[in-house]
A and B are shown apart, each in its own frame.
Chain A
């Protein structure tokens, strides 16, 4: 999942001006490297004085406000501001945060999540894993057809390509390529060649905003719309085939057994069949089409790049059926059968400082994505409520493992000990984050480790700021390899993310202090930087790169993107790190009938991976972000969702967590 950098590139904001006036800089932060940062002797900033933070270094921010459902006031208009335009209301033709956020009001999926990633039937009344087969992608060879590669190896095929034969990957122009498309997939399934088979029995009586009932045909058509779309890769890297069975049953087949299949396969949002064949991106008010879904809100107004308004769906199916009709729901009787706020007015305000000012000026009730200093101000005020939860967003440094002397893992381990994770969280992020003592955040711990506490206990010593241990390792490496010191190294980072730049400066400062390194820092404009670090040749340049990424509830997203060799030259294995053995370990933790059927085995395998990655030390994950939202005191019951794209839909109404917000305006 993309780390939302879209608007960080706006070069003009209040914070930059303050910096230009000398109000911020690294000077203050650099002094926090040593043990004298107001914390304990361990120097990891883990004391209980620090910055008014708790023992874990995070500020006093709760994940949400508890309310008594009996007190709920119905009605009102919530005024919100988001940080970017809605690129599209067409789900398969948008992947940016704001689009997903806006679509979350309107559309729903077969399953719903809670904030720990547990799944619950939603548009599906129930679902089951029918069958798992021990197949891999080579088993589809008999069903593949051959096409000729065009210019740049492009394949001119109308259907969605599901699998390209591994031997034909990277074919040149004129060469033949074997592929399996959506046309051939049913033949394979008929012969029992598929990885997994899930059956979803749909809720009956679910109405779209246009009054039509949702049936299995709509679900199948929704998946069809994802074919060859902007996000088709995310859907059809696992989905093999979707078929209807009567009006209320859908079967979804996976290409190979996948421990993440339960979450990955039903990921598409459901749209009416009549919208499935619209032109690319055509499901959008700017194209004269009003989006229609089954969700609790309907799109009322949209002014491109200015605002959009959604109003309550008066025929919301949950209100018709009652939330207690869901077998898994065991909340109190007073919990409402749908969101209670009538209207949401969402202004599009790219600049953080402007959103912050609008919130202070009572022009909006809620916003998100503010920087650490601003959050701190709001958090200290009684007129505002800041909610925060640990998210899957993380930042990491990656070392040039293919360039001497960085191919020696002792050197990388040494630098990893010079990454002052706690100082970064305390001083750069004002406590709005958690040091990454392991590579696994809380939200993915459920399926990513057998014991999160034990894992942290074992790996934390390898990831703590420890200049003494770093110097021991450095001395060893320098002697063994006969290196001349100081070792010159360039650290690189994108200039338009202030926190990331300051973080890099702290690490460079720590490296310099050892006397073994002579560092330089090079900053780049975001697009330039991304183009640079995703270039396969970058691995040979011998620089340390710093970038951010966002994982999901899937533990795989915290190891595979950075370390699987197949991700070199694309997001986000920047330095071509990894080994065949690591690849096998990662594949083995996610794919295969054994882990698909045995979650405990999967957890054990991930535990092995986290240990192996800590030893290998190709990447230093610094911290996990805190997703934060700020409201005024008119908003009651606000709780934060771990990912920005879901904060409004989650806060407004989410039975999986018994979450609902209402407005209590002073008359």
Chain B
């Protein structure tokens, strides 16, 4: 199968997957008690049950679930993701406003993860079973084990409250593209990238160690090539195949991790919005972010597969 056909096939498979995701999410949200209207009037003695029903009807939230789903789906197919009930705002405009914040955080986390993980992985593999290797494995284990919300809170506690190097609140008046924002991205970016860094580092170390035992490395050493050259020129490329694949897959983890990290750091991205939407039972927003995340994760996996094939010509598209 050609690369083009493979990509096309995978892109087409997104449609049933997203349909399934949308049905399941819609059903789950409706199975959960409450809706934006009950949330709005939760404990307001002045609002009668009839009045609440009137407002529910106004927003089309009173019909059967299947009917609501069909209405929602037909609107989505025309590009209308609906409104947030509590603020009467268009979901799509909110997503467009929040998306850059999450992308910036994700990219920073991703860059941080790769920057830390690859050199550390190389170092650990090159010094296998020595102190540096043990230390790096311990760090990797810690990075995977520590919940990111706890790590985030600790970073705030140490670097913002004790050392005063960062503010507790992100600078809401600065535009995202302002160079100064790089500084403010560090704490949430490190928090979001730590687990990914740990995962990549472990894979990097393992695949490097595996490659180092292969015959072509022994042959290169026999030829008298310097160790540094062997590692950087020959071993690294082969080792990176699995790392690149994993890195693309971990992008999904970074996206889902942003939900927690954005809340901890008061970072106004999609994750933060998602939590608000869940608390407020804002189904349109929940659906839109879920679909968006779904598309993103599917595409990230597709990129991983393509990269894997590009880096290793032995792989066949099936």
Asked if B167 and A363 make an inter-chain contact with CB atoms under 8 angstroms apart, the answer reads: yes
Asked if B46 and A233 make an inter-chain contact with CB atoms under 8 angstroms apart, the answer reads: yes
**Contacts A154-B57, A354-B168, A561-B45; A93 near B149 (Cβ below 8 A):** no
Cβ-based interface call for A230 (8 A): yes
Q: Interface digits, A227-259 against B, CB 8 Å rule (1 contact, 0 not)?
A: 000111110010000000000000000000000
Question: How many A residues touch B, CB cutoff 8 Å?
Answer: 70
Q: Interface digits, B252-288 against A, CB 8 Å rule (1 contact, 0 not)?
A: 0000000010011010100011011001110000000
B169 is contacted by which of A154, A286, A349 (Cβ under 8 Å)?
Answer: A349
Interface residues of A in 517-534 (CB under 8 A from B): 526-528, 530-532, 534
User: Residues of A with Cβ closer than 8 Å to B?
Assistant: 1-3, 5-7, 9-12, 14, 17, 81, 85, 87-88, 93, 95-96, 152-154, 230-234, 237, 280-282, 284, 286-287, 303-307, 347, 349-351, 353-354, 357-358, 360-361, 363-364, 526-528, 530-532, 534, 547-550, 557, 560-561, 567, 569-572
Which 3 A-B pairs give the minimum distances between C-beta atoms? Answer: A527-B34, A281-B88, A531-B33
Min distance, Cβ A216 to any Cβ of chain B, angstroms: 26
Instruction: Provide the bound-state CA to CA distance between A5 and B280, in Å.
Output: 11
**Contacts A12-B260, A87-B87, A527-B38; A95 near B156 (Cβ below 8 A):** no
Asked if A88 and B88 make an inter-chain contact with CB atoms under 8 angstroms apart, the answer reads: yes
Asked if A17 and B149 make an inter-chain contact with CB atoms under 8 angstroms apart, the answer reads: yes
**Contacts A12-B149, A152-B53, A361-B164; A560 near B275 (Cβ below 8 A):** no
B45 is contacted by which of A14, A286, A572 (Cβ under 8 Å)?
Answer: A572
- Chain B residues with CB below 8 A from A360, complex form: 161
**Contacts A530-B43, A531-B33, A531-B38; A10 near B275 (Cβ below 8 A):** yes
Asked if B276 and A354 make an inter-chain contact with CB atoms under 8 angstroms apart, the answer reads: no
- The residue of chain B having its C-beta at the shortest distance from the C-beta of A90 within the complex is B88
B273 is contacted by which of A81, A287, A305 (Cβ under 8 Å)?
Answer: A305
- Most chain B CB within a 10 A radius of its CB, from A88, A284, A354: A354
- The residue of chain B having its C-beta at the shortest distance from the C-beta of A3 within the complex is B43
B43 is contacted by which of A87, A357, A547 (Cβ under 8 Å)?
Answer: A547
Instruction: Provide the bound-state CA to CA distance between A349 and B169, in Å.
Output: 8
A570 is contacted by which of B47, B62, B153, B172 (Cβ under 8 Å)?
Answer: B47
Asked if B266 and A233 make an inter-chain contact with CB atoms under 8 angstroms apart, the answer reads: no
B160 is contacted by which of A88, A286, A357 (Cβ under 8 Å)?
Answer: A357
- The residue of chain A having its C-beta at the shortest distance from the C-beta of B147 within the complex is A17
Number of A-B contacts (CB under 8 A): 160
- Most chain A CB within a 10 A radius of its CB, from B51, B55, B167: B51
Instruction: Provide the bound-state CA to CA distance between A304 and B47, in Å.
Output: 27
Min distance, Cβ B73 to any Cβ of chain A, angstroms: 22
Instruction: Provide the bound-state CA to CA distance between A528 and B306, in Å.
Output: 44
Asked if A10 and B169 make an inter-chain contact with CB atoms under 8 angstroms apart, the answer reads: no
- The residue of chain A having its C-beta at the shortest distance from the C-beta of B63 within the complex is A151
- Chain A residues with CB below 8 A from B97, complex form: 304
Instruction: Provide the bound-state CA to CA distance between A93 and B40, in Å.
Output: 11
**Contacts A361-B161, A570-B52, A571-B45; A281 near B87 (Cβ below 8 A):** yes
- Chain A residues with CB below 8 A from B276, complex form: 85, 305, 350
Q: Interface digits, B162-190 against A, CB 8 Å rule (1 contact, 0 not)?
A: 00100111001100000000000000000
**Contacts A6-B279, A153-B50, A531-B33; A14 near B43 (Cβ below 8 A):** no
- The residue of chain B having its C-beta at the shortest distance from the C-beta of A549 within the complex is B43
- The residue of chain A having its C-beta at the shortest distance from the C-beta of B152 within the complex is A12
Asked if B87 and A354 make an inter-chain contact with CB atoms under 8 angstroms apart, the answer reads: no
Cβ-based interface call for B44 (8 A): yes
- Chain A residues with CB below 8 A from B164, complex form: 361
Instruction: Provide the bound-state CA to CA distance between A153 and B62, in Å.
Output: 12
- Chain B residues with CB below 8 A from A567, complex form: 45
Instruction: Provide the bound-state CA to CA distance between A81 and B164, in Å.
Output: 19
Cβ-based interface call for B48 (8 A): yes
Min distance, Cβ B4 to any Cβ of chain A, angstroms: 42
Instruction: Provide the bound-state CA to CA distance between A351 and B94, in Å.
Output: 21
Asked if B45 and A549 make an inter-chain contact with CB atoms under 8 angstroms apart, the answer reads: yes
Instruction: Provide the bound-state CA to CA distance between A304 and B97, in Å.
Output: 9
- Chain B residues with CB below 8 A from A7, complex form: 279
- The residue of chain B having its C-beta at the shortest distance from the C-beta of A7 within the complex is B279
Asked if B153 and A17 make an inter-chain contact with CB atoms under 8 angstroms apart, the answer reads: yes
Asked if A304 and B94 make an inter-chain contact with CB atoms under 8 angstroms apart, the answer reads: yes
Asked if B50 and A528 make an inter-chain contact with CB atoms under 8 angstroms apart, the answer reads: no
Min distance, Cβ B101 to any Cβ of chain A, angstroms: 10
